[in-house]
Amino acid sequence: MSEIAHADRAHALLSPSGAHRWLHCTPSARLEATLPDSKTEASRRGELAHEISELKLQKIFSGLPTRSFNASLKKFKGHELYEPIMDDHTNAYVDYIQSIVHTFPSPPYVVIERSVDLTDFVPESSGTSDCIIIGGGKLHVIDYKNGQGVPVPAEDNPQMKLYALGALKAFSLLFPITEVHLAIVQPKVWDQPSEWSLPVADLLAWGESIKPIAQAAFNGEGEYSSGDHCGFCRARINCRARVEHMLDASSLAPLKPPLISWGEVGEVLRKAEGIDKWYKALKEAALAEVLKGGQVAGWKAVEGRGGRDYANMDAAFAHLKEKGIEEAVLYERKPLTPPQLEEALTKKVYKELLEEPGHVIKRAGTPTLAHEDDKRPAITNQVKPEDAFSAPIE
């Protein structure tokens, strides 16, 4: 897998992107620093989308020549993680930035991918803001998020507030700034960016308020505290505080090492078995309760993400064909899988036409964790000595 330049950024121990976590759980940053940072495909895809966004902004605001732009874009589009929808999503981000720029009577100051110094508030910390726009006493800090699983609102967002503090430090001597506007463009989640504003005085007061917390986090002091900030923590799988919080397992007393052992993992897996289904069922019951007007402390029902449907599919497709749209564009043609064909052809015909002539191969199943009394034999990735020595010598 080829590397994406955006991935090369150095991250401070107390990075703005981790602020939600280390502000709530001060020892987490030092603990995370001892654990490997395993990047997911989603995070690498996010880095690629950031590269594409930056390129598009450079063309508009930094005068990147068309030839260089086209060459770089072609390279990004050839990347194995590129997906065509990325073009629409990064366009949405660029369009939003342009719409902000156009609100100013004269061209504002625009900086892209700017590194900001946060050491006035957070020890040894810095970060990179996707886009900063300054003009008419306003500071806009805009961030692109490619993720889909977790919506990230701009309101009271510590990552965004830290970028804004860094931008103030960098530019407030050059530009008078009184208002701060934060925006997160997350096209996979929201049609419109999430926005939030606050006066500069409030931002600076917040910066002062987090200084002792940041110092404790830098020192690795304080209590482990689990919550929704654990989601992207490197310790989230085997963090003792989190396990205790989820299971209320009083037998796993505090003051033990912060990471649970594999022996304890076995016990936790057993205790937590079915917890996901249970949680889902409980959530459904709570939703039904609040929908019928009942109260569930701390919860409410809201409208989920809507979808789109044809008012009349036959009429819509007839209209499209009339307008010259090919039928092949309107329908998806997908091959049936072997189990589906077996069902469609009957077992006998399937066997005669596909299995016996060797048109179907058997794949090994994905490894799955099972109880030790499961009837299937245990498997491992380790090469056994008998297999190693029985391999032919080339």
Q: What is the DSSP string of 158-197?
A: HHHHHHHHHHHHHHTTTS---EEEEEEE-TTT-SS-EEEE
User: In angstroms, what is the minimal distance from the CB of 245 to ligand SF4?
Assistant: 7
User: In angstroms, what is the minimal distance from the CB of 303 to ligand SF4?
Assistant: 30
Radius of gyration of the chain (CA): 27
Interface pick for ligand SF4 out of 184, 226, 268, 342 (rule CB under 6 A):
226
Instruction: Tell which residue, 90, 183, 100, has the closest CA to residue 134.
Output: 100
Q: Does 350 bind ligand SF4 (CB under 6 A)?
A: no
Beta pairing, strands 179-185 & 126-135: unpaired
Residue that has been written with the tokens 């805009």 in this structure = 142
Q: What is the DSSP string of 82-124?
A: --THHHHHHHHHHHHHHHHHTTSSS--EEEEEEEEE-TTTSTT
User: Mapping DSSP to helix (H, G, I), strand (E, B) and coil, where does residue 240 land?
Assistant: helix
Q: Does 239 bind ligand SF4 (CB under 6 A)?
A: yes
Stretch that binds ligand SF4, among 42-50, 233-241, 276-284, 373-381 (CB under 6 A): 233-241
Restricting to residues 12-41, which ones interact with ligand SF4 according to CB under 6 A?
Answer: 21, 25, 28, 31
Nearer to ligand SF4, 160 or 260 (CB): 260
Q: Does 169 bind ligand SF4 (CB under 6 A)?
A: no
**What are the residues whose beta carbons fall under 8 Å from the beta carbon of 128, sequence distance 6 or more?**
9, 113, 114, 115, 116
User: In angstroms, what is the minimal distance from the CB of 222 to ligand SF4?
Assistant: 10
Stretch that binds ligand SF4, among 79-87, 127-135, 230-238, 318-326 (CB under 6 A): 230-238
Q: Does 260 bind ligand SF4 (CB under 6 A)?
A: no
Q: Does 229 bind ligand SF4 (CB under 6 A)?
A: yes
Q: Does 243 bind ligand SF4 (CB under 6 A)?
A: no
Tokens representing 93? 């981000």
Q: What is the pattern of x (binds ligand SF4, CB under 6 A) and - over residues 172-211?
A: ----------------------------------------
What phi and psi values does residue 276 have, to the nearest 5 degrees? -65, -45
Q: Does 233 bind ligand SF4 (CB under 6 A)?
A: yes
Q: Would you tell me which residues interact with ligand SF4 (CB under 6 A)?
A: 21, 25, 28, 31, 224-226, 229-230, 233, 235-236, 239, 241-242
